[in-house]
Amino acid sequence: MRSSKHLQALSRNVFVDMDQAKTECISAGKIIIDLSLRSSDLPAPDVAIAAAIEKSSHDPTTPG
């Protein structure tokens, strides 16, 4: 079965392409801040973590 040109263009995995580009940039000595859909390479700010813990500690639906 033949697929359309539009579907053929989608056959590559954009995440693999982005990882490859990121690796190439890092190898070239560039500083990369990863804001991709998976997970950020930057840690959450301490104030955000503290706020999440505080909020969840008062939430009766949160286990523990």
pLDDT score for 37: 64
According to DSSP, residue 23 is labeled H
pLDDT score for 25: 93
Mean pLDDT of successive 10-residue segments in the chain (64 residues)?
68 78 93 72 83 87 74
Do 22 and 34 contact (CB within 8 A), yes or no?
yes
pLDDT score for 28: 96
pLDDT score for 40: 63
pTM greater than 0.75: no
